[in-house]
């Protein structure tokens, strides 16, 4: 089998009803992708303009971060109308055109549903806060103060401080796990669940193929409002909130991760199944992320996929770390399905976060495409964009403003997609962009990389093509997981196809012995080492070995 043959797409993959299994998902942060009207903010028409580029990557699904009507205190994650498009992004007709154009290219659409909380400008909350006895009085999480006037418990907000805000009209506190302007919906109220399922149905009827579910484990709170216990210092990590945030000092048993959430997810899944749709849930928990992933994706009655934060952490994962995560996942989620990501709109870009050299960036990309599960890549990741350096006066993110300078927020990973180094604002907009275009990104623009055969962009295309060409990689089992020094290796197998994958995750050469059998070299376009005559593989720094069993 030739190397070229190894990269031919497997057309049979498109025939599976569980199309989400093994998919490569491309996340678009619409504010920063492409501006079509010159107002400095990306929009839905801009995404339509760039669909040919997205299709050229070989991805099969795009996830679009929120574009709903919003006061934009948290840039669309504070929704004031779940069933309309904010004018800065376009119209419902624009969204319909985007769905149609994507489908014509064979690309499915996931949209970002923010169900755990709304904006305080949502009509539901305005009615809820108006009195204690109106029709929606119980649609949000309200509580009387303690006798001394303090909040009802010790729950903390992701964005700092108490998770409770005082409302003078009702003389009660309301819960907000995020900004004060993002009150939490009360999932113990059946009518709230019904209303959110109606929202879901609205978008399914418009042709979306599924959803990314923001903060999926935050939906349900403890009815008794019990205090969270303290978390031992040695168990704290900054995967969810920065180290300077006291949120890391609690074990979040009662403000999220509640078992009652499973019943809502079953209702949600039943609705999705009636449309052939799928969802990937964001599990925000620093200690139990994989366990919750296992719970939420077990069986066939909850969500299809979840992603946790294991590889969104600050430290570059070693071979041993990858193995530990994969083994733990196999233990807690034998029926589950992960969606792996190295970067997204909430974390420092992994090129910067892990301090990757070009060779290391390629190795991690190839490894990502060989993991069991689905894969999510974030816009600009395919270009190797590093975290942008912004001045305090340029910040828009309330998270960064709150904790500056120890934590600089999320704007550095949300700067504009760079299309051409020689065009105003790198081709993003003819107007003043909402964040400064990072000058350090210009040399990595799409047009520049298209002209450079060795650019990372082409490596991403080849790695995605390899995954698409092999059911073993897209859908198969993972077995034989081993770590030898800095080399991680495993087998992927599906429908009689078996691939052996090994990765040298270090700056020094390494060797390994191939398992018994007759192996055919593959993936030369990805710098893969082939088998030696004696079964010994010599791996250069950051070099993979990808071979097929014949």
pLDDT in tens, 413-462: 999 999 999 999 999 999 999 999 999 999 999 999 999 999 999 999 99
207-259 pLDDT, tens digit per residue, is 999 999 999 999 999 999 999 999 999 889 877 777 888 999 999 999 999 99
Whether residue 13 has pLDDT greater than 70:
no
The owner of tokens 């081709």 is: 427
- Which DSSP symbol is given to 146? P
260: annotated active-site residue: no
| Res 518: pLDDT | 86
And the tokens for 134? 């109106």
| Res 149: pLDDT | 98
Instruction: Please answer whether residues 181 and 78 qualify as being in contact, where contact means their C-beta atoms are separated by less than 8 angstroms.
Output: yes
- Which DSSP symbol is given to 389? P
| Res 14: pLDDT | 53
Instruction: Please answer whether residues 385 and 412 qualify as being in contact, where contact means their C-beta atoms are separated by less than 8 angstroms.
Output: no
> What number is the average pLDDT over the span 460-480?
97
289-297 vs 261-273: helix crossing angle, rounded to 10:
50
**Exposure string over 79-101, b if 16+ CB within 10 A, otherwise e:** bbbbeebbebbbeeebbeebbeb
127: annotated active-site residue: no
CA-to-CA distance for 110 and 95, rounded, in angstroms? 12
Peptide linkage before 331 cis (omega within 30 of 0): no
Catalytic residue among 43, 78, 94, 214: 214
Instruction: Please answer whether residues 178 and 110 qualify as being in contact, where contact means their C-beta atoms are separated by less than 8 angstroms.
Output: no
H helix runs in 404-504, sequence order: 446-450, 456-469, 471-475
CA-to-CA distance for 468 and 10, rounded, in angstroms? 6
Least confident range from 356-370, 390-404, 524-538: namely 524-538
Ranges of beta strands (E only) in 258-304 are 278-282
Instruction: Please answer whether residues 331 and 372 qualify as being in contact, where contact means their C-beta atoms are separated by less than 8 angstroms.
Output: no
How many other CB atoms sit within 10 Å of the CB of residue 394?
A: 12
Which residues, listed in sequence order, are joined to residue 477 by a DSSP beta bridge?
Answer: 493
H helix runs in 335-416, sequence order: 350-353, 358-370, 398-403
Helices (H) and strands (E) in the chain, counts: 15, 20
Instruction: Using CB atoms within 10 Å of the CB of residue 170, give its burial: 0 to 12 exposed, 13 to 18 middle, 19+ buried.
Output: middle
Catalytic residue among 282, 291, 310, 382: 282
Whether residue 145 has pLDDT greater than 70:
yes
Q: Which domains does the chain have, with CATH numbers?
A: 21-118+190-234+241-466 (3.20.20.80), 477-549 (2.60.40.1180)
CA-to-CA distance for 369 and 459, rounded, in angstroms? 11
Confidence of residue 468 (pLDDT cuts 50, 70, 90): very high
pTM of the model: 0.95
Give the DSSP H or E segment for 320. Answer: helix 319-332
């Amino acid at each position: 089998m030739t190397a070229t043959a190894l990269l031919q797409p497997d057309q049979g993959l498109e025939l599976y009803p569980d199309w989400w299994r093994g998919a490569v998902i491309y996340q678009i942060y619409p504010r920063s992708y492409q501006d079509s009207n010159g107002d400095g903010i990306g929009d839905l028409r801009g995404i339509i303009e760039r669909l040919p580029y997205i299709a050229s990557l070989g991805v099969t699904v795009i996830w679009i971060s929120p574009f709903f009507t919003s006061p934009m205190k948290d840039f669309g994650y504070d929704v004031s109308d779940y069933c309309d498009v904010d004018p800065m992004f376009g119209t419902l007709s624009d969204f319909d055109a985007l769905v149609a154009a994507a489908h014509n290219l064979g690309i499915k659409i996931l949209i970002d549903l923010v169900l755990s909380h709304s904006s305080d400008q949502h009509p539901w909350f305005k009615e809820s806060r108006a009195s204690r006895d109106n029709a929606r009085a119980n649609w949000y999480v309200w509580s009387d103060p303690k006798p001394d006037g303090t909040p009802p418990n010790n729950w903390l907000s992701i964005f700092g401080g108490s998770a409770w805000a005082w409302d003078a009209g009702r003389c009660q506190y309301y819960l907000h796990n995020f900004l004060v302007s993002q009150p939490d919906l009360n999932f113990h109220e059946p009518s709230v669940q019904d209303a959110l399922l109606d929202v879901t149905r609205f978008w399914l009827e418009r042709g979306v193929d599924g959803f990314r579910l923001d903060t999926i484990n935050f939906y349900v709170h403890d009815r008794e409002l019990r205090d969270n216990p303290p978390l031992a210092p040695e168990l704290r990590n900054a995967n969810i909130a920065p180290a300077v945030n006291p949120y890391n000092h609690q074990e979040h048993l009662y403000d999220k991760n509640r078992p009652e959430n499973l019943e809502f997810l079953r209702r949600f899944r039943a609705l999705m199944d009636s449309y052939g749709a799928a969802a990937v849930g964001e599990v925000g928990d620093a200690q139990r992320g994989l366990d919750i992933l296992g719970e939420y994706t077990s069986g066939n009655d909850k969500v299809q996929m979840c992603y946790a934060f294991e590889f969104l952490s600050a430290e570059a994962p070693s071979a041993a770390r990858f193995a530990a995560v994969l083994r733990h996942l196999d233990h807690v989620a034998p029926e589950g399905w992960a969606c792996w990501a190295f970067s997204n709109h909430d974390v420092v870009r992994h090129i910067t976060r892990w301090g990757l050299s070009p060779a290391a960036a390629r190795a991690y990309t190839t490894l990502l495409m060989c993991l069991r599960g689905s894969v999510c890549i974030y816009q600009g990741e395919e270009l190797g964009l590093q975290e942008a350096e912004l001045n305090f006066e340029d910040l828009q993110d309330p998270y960064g403003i709150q904790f500056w300078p120890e934590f600089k927020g999320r704007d550095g990973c949300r700067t504009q997609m760079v299309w051409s180094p020689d065009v105003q604002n790198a081709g993003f907009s003819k107007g003043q962009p909402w964040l400064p275009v990072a000058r350090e990104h210009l040399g990595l623009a799409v047009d520049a990389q298209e002209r450079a055969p060795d650019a990372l962009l082409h490596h991403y295309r080849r790695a995605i093509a390899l995954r698409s060409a092999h059911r073993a990689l897209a859908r198969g089992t993972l077995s034989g997981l081993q770590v030898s020094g800095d080399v991680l290796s495993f087998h992927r197998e599906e429908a009689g196809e078996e691939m052996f994958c090994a990765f040298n995750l270090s700056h020094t050469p390494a060797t390994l012995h191939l398992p018994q059998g007759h192996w055919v070299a593959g993936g030369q376009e990805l710098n893969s080492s082939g088998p030696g005559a004696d079964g010994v593989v010599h791996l250069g720094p950051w070099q993979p070995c990808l071979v097929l069993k014949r």
